[in-house]
C-alpha cells in the first residue's frame, strides 16, 4: 500500500517561501495568482497492513515525525491499494 | 563542575563549546555521543549548534530521536541544567523540552552576524551573572531562527518570565529593526517553566574570548557554573571570577556515525 502525506504550515502561520513564489509568479505576469502555500509531500510504502491499520499508523507517523503540530497540519490519502 | 557536550552527526559547534567550557571557563568537560545512553554523571548538558542530521525534515527534528536525547529528557525532568545553543535550541523545541517552534528566517536568508540581545530575566540559572537588562553582543548563524509561539503561548511565556533574551539594538532598545529573523516579540532565547532548560539562537561559545571580538557569552556559562556551585553548596563565589585559560588538547571523537 502506498500513501501520500501532505504537510503545510497552518493558515495562521506566515509562509515566506510561498509568498516569495507568489511574488515571482506575479512578476512573470500570472496576474490571477492570489496566494501560494509551500509544503512537503511524503510517499510512504507500507507492507502487510490493511486500510484500518494504515488509518491508525499514518496519522501517528505524521503527528510524531513528519509534521510539527505547533506550526503545521497534514492531510493524507492512499494512492495505491 | 562537569559539563557534557552532545555530539550529533552534523553538530559543528561541539568543539567550540567544549573549548569554551574547558579552556576558557576551566570546567571539566566531556563529549556525549548521540548513540550513548550514559550522561557520564555530568552536572550540566549543552546541546551545541550545527546542522544535526543535515537539518533534514525540520531543524532538530531527527536529532530528538537519538538515544542520548532520551537520557537528556530524563535529566531535564529531574531538574538537570540543559542549555541548547542554536541547533541545540531547535532540538529542545522539537523534543518538547521547550515550547514553541522555529520557522525559516523572515527574509529567507541564512544570517551570520553579530547581534545584540537584552537579558530580560537575570534571575535564572543561565543569567544570574548578568546585570538587569544587560545587553550582550553575541553572534548568530542560522536559517531557522524565526521563533514562533501562538498568542496564548506568548502570553504564558510573558507571564512566567520565560522570555530570557530579546534581540535589541546596541542601546538595548527592542526594535523591529533589531529583530533580524522575525521572531515573535523579538525572542532570542526562552527558558522552561521549571527554569532548568534554556535555548537561545545566538552562540555564546563564539563570544567567550577577547580574540573572538566579544566575551559576553561567558555570562551564560558563568551563570550556569554559579548556579551549580551554589546547588552543590560550594559557597558564594564571586560571579565575575576570571578563570585563567588553561589550554588542554581536546579529545578526539570516538565512534561512528
Please, what are the domains in chain B? 2-231 (3.40.50.880)
C-alpha cell at B31: 563529549
CB B202 within 8 A of CB B189: yes
* A66:B57 CB<8 A: yes
Give the model confidence (pLDDT) of B199-241 as tens digits.
999 999 999 999 999 999 999 999 999 999 999 987 555 544 5
Give the model confidence (pLDDT) of B87-119 as tens digits.
999 999 999 999 999 999 999 999 999 999 999
Would you state the pLDDT for residue B236?
Answer: 56
Q: Is the dihedral of CA B91, B96, B100, B104 positive or negative?
A: positive
Give the model confidence (pLDDT) of B8-41 as tens digits.
999 999 999 999 999 999 999 999 999 999 999 9
C-alpha distance from A70 to closest chain B C-alpha (Å): 7
Q: Is B61 on the interface with A (CB under 8 A)?
A: yes
Chain A environment of B103 (Cβ under 8 Å): 9, 13-14, 16, 71
Model confidence, pTM: 0.91
Average pLDDT along chain A: 96
Give the domain extent around A41. 2-80
Q: For chain A, what is the domain count?
A: 1
Facing A16 at nearest CB: one of B61, B94, B108: B108
Q: How confident is the model at residue B252 (pLDDT cuts 50, 70, 90)?
A: confident
Would you state the pLDDT for residue B161?
Answer: 98
Could you say which residues from 39 to 78 on chain A have a Cβ atom under 8 Å away from some Cβ of chain B?
65-66, 68, 70-71
Give the model confidence (pLDDT) of A19-48 as tens digits.
999 999 999 999 999 999 999 999 999 999
Q: Which residues contact B136 (CB under 8 A, 6 or more apart)?
A: B116, B117, B118, B119, B130, B165, B202, B207, B214, B216, B217, B219
Average pLDDT along chain B: 93
Chain A environment of B106 (Cβ under 8 Å): 14, 16
Per-residue pLDDT at B136 exceeds 80: yes
ipTM for this prediction: 0.86
Q: Taking Cα atoms as reference points, which of B85, B138, B144, B59 lies closest to residue B109?
A: B144
Q: Is B104 on the interface with A (CB under 8 A)?
A: yes
Facing A68 at nearest CB: one of B58, B65, B104: B58
The CATH number for A49's domain is: 3.30.1280.10
Would you state the pLDDT for residue B256?
Answer: 62
The catalytic residues of B are 86, 203, 205
Give the model confidence (pLDDT) of B145-201 as tens digits.
999 999 999 999 999 999 999 999 999 999 999 999 999 999 999 999 999 999 999
Higher pLDDT, B242 or B234: B234
b/e A27-55 (16+ beta carbons within 10 angstroms → b):
eeeeeeeeebeebeebebebeeeeeeebe
Q: How confident is the model at residue B246 (pLDDT cuts 50, 70, 90)?
A: low
Q: Is B154 on the interface with A (CB under 8 A)?
A: no
Would you state the pLDDT for residue B254?
Answer: 63
CB B18 within 8 A of CB B49: no
Amino acid at each position: 500500500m502506498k500513501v501520500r502525506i501532505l504537510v503545510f504550515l497552518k493558515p495562521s502561520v506566515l509562509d515566506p517561501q510561498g509568498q516569495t513564489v507568489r511574488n515571482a509568479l506575479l512578476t512573470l505576469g500570472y496576474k490571477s495568482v492570489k496566494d501560494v502555500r509551500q509544503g512537503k509531500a511524503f510517499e510512504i510504502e507500507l507492507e502487510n497492513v490493511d486500510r484500518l491499520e494504515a488509518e491508525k499508523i499514518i496519522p501517528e507517523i505524521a503527528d510524531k515525525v513528519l509534521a510539527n503540530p505547533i506550526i503545521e497540519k497534514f492531510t493524507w490519502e492512499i494512492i495505491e491499494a | 563542575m562537569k559539563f557534557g557536550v552532545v555530539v550529533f552527526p552534523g553538530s559543528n559547534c561541539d568543539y567550540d563549546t567544549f573549548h569554551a567550557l574547558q579552556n576558557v571557563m576551566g570546567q571539566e568537560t566531556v563529549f556525549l555521543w548521540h548513540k550513548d545512553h550514559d550522561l557520564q554523571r555530568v552536572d550540566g548538558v549543552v546541546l551545541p549548534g550545527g546542522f544535526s542530521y543535515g537539518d533534514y525534515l525540520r531543524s532538530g527534528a531527527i536529532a530528538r530521536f537519538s538515544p542520548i536525547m532520551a537520557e537528556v529528557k530524563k535529566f531535564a525532568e529531574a531538574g538537570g541544567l540543559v542549555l541548547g545553543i542554536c541547533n541545540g535550541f531547535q532540538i529542545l523545541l522539537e523534543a518538547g523540552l521547550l515550547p514553541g517552534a522555529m520557522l525559516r528566517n523572515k527574509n529567507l536568508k541564512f544570517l551570520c552576524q553579530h547581534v545584540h540581545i537584552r537579558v530580560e530575566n537575570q534571575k535564572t540559572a543561565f543569567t544570574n551573572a548578568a546585570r538587569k537588562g544587560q545587553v550582550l553582543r553575541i553572534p548568530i548563524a542560522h536559517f531557522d531562527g524565526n521563533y514562533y509561539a501562538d498568542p496564548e503561548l506568548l502570553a504564558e511565556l510573558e507571564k512566567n518570565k520565560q522570555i530570557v533574551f530579546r534581540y535589541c539594538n546596541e542601546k538595548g532598545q527592542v526594535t523591529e529593526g533589531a529583530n533580524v529573523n522575525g521572531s515573535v516579540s523579538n525572542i532570542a532565547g526562552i527558558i522552561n517553566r521549571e527554569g532548568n532548560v534554556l535555548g537561545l539562537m545566538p552562540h555564546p561559545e563564539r563570544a567567550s574570548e577577547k580574540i573572538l571580538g566579544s566575551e559576553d557569552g561567558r555570562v551564560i556559562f558563568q551563570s550556569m557554573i554559579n548556579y551549580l556551585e551554589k546547588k552543590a553548596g560550594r559557597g558564594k563565589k564571586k560571579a565575575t571570577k576570571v578563570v585563567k585559560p588553561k589550554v588542554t588538547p581536546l579529545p578526539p571523537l570516538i565512534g561512528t556515525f
